[in-house]
């Protein structure tokens, strides 16, 4: 009997570690699967919300006619400001001079006139010369240039209180548009057609900027041609000394933000 008991005990203890080993493998595998599912779900949700975010349109769209009149008077009176509306190799498509923009308001009352600081104007002329050499017949298309503070506030209002508030600078500190040292622009082919960049101007998608391009290429959200088109614009602008913004293919600063804030005044209106 003693022998039988010991034998039974021996048989039980010899199988317990073996059984436990299989349980550990199974639990570990299930845990990894769960983590993978959760990760993919979070990424899919983030991508979906990122691509679907569109600020709501106002019930009563406004035209800021008196505000833009004061702005143009200020820009024309400032000796540091240069109008680029009729600059050779450049054409206007100011989106905030229409209702077709993220605010839903006509911030510039239909006025297709653009101004920049004279230092930015010099760099823009250089970019045009590079473009004429690299892409003969093309034009730079200006979506926005210097931006008055009232327009900055209207843009900020569209994202205030959302996860996208970092996309638009507060008027209190200002973005480089409010210093006259930033441009939003695209580029055409020799036939005058805007090159396809994969997203529209002012898109909130992650793939709207260089930081999200590799991921978007891999997923098929962007094509290689669209990324190549972006790089054509970047090459021209970088060659003229402009600094691209990593989150927006259309945005270029004349100088780094820190340098601008230390050496140039923000617009008073």
CB 100 within 8 A of CB 57: no
Nearest C-alpha neighbor of 87 from the set 144, 142, 143, 130:
142
Q: What's the pLDDT at 36?
A: 45
pLDDT at position 22: 53
Per-residue confidence (pLDDT) for residue 54, from 0 to 100: 83
Distance of CA 33 to the CA centre of its chain: 34
User: How much is the pLDDT for 145?
Assistant: 99
Provide the pLDDT for residue 53: 78
Half-sphere exposure of 159 (CA within 13 A, CB side): 18
From the centroid of its chain, how far is CA 224?
18
DSSP state of 254: S
Report residue 22 CA to chain centroid gap: 50
Q: Tell me the C-alpha distance between 81 and 115, whole Å.
A: 6
Element (H, E) at 33: helix 2-52
The predicted structure's pLDDT at residue 47: 46
Decide: 255 and 243 in contact? Cβ < 8 Å: yes
pLDDT along the chain (269 residues), means of 10: 44 49 54 47 41 82 98 98 98 98 98 99 99 98 99 96 91 98 99 98 96 97 99 99 98 99 98
Q: How far apart are the first and last CA of the chain?
A: 100
Cα–Cα nearest to 246, from 218, 212, 222, 220? 212
Give the distance, in angstroms, between the CA of residue 88 and the centroid of all CA atoms in the same chain: 27
pTM above 0.85? no
Contact of 252 with 244, CB cutoff 8 Å? yes
Q: pLDDT at position 44, please?
A: 42
């Amino acid at each position: 009997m003693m022998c039988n008991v010991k034998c039974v005990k021996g048989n039980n203890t010899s199988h317990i570690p073996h059984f436990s080993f299989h349980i550990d493998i199974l639990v570990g595998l299930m845990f990894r699967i769960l983590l993978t599912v959760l990760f993919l779900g979070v990424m899919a949700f983030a991508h979906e919300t990122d691509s679907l975010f569109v600020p709501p349109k106002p019930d009563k769209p406004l035209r800021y006619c008196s505000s833009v009149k004061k702005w143009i008077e200020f820009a024309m009176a400032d000796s540091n400001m240069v109008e680029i509306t009729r600059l050779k190799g450049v054409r206007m498509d100011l989106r905030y001079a229409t209702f077709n923009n993220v605010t839903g308001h006509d911030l510039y009352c239909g006025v297709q006139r653009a101004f920049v600081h004279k230092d930015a104007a010099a760099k823009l002329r250089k970019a045009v010369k590079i473009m004429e050499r690299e892409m003969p017949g093309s034009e730079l298309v200006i979506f926005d240039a210097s931006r008055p503070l009232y327009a900055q506030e209207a843009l900020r209002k569209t994202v205030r209180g959302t996860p996208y508030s970092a996309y638009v600078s507060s008027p209190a500190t200002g973005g480089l548009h409010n210093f006259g040292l930033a441009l939003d622009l695209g580029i055409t082919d020799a036939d005058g057609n805007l090159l396809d960049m994969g997203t529209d101007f002012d898109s909130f998608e992650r793939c709207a900027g260089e930081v999200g391009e590799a991921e978007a290429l891999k997923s098929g959200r962007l094509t290689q041609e669209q990324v190549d088109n972006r790089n054509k614009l970047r090459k021209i602008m970088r060659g003229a000394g402009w600094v691209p913004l990593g989150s927006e293919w259309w945005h270029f600063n004349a100088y780094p933000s820190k340098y601008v804030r230390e050496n140039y005044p923000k617009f008073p209106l």
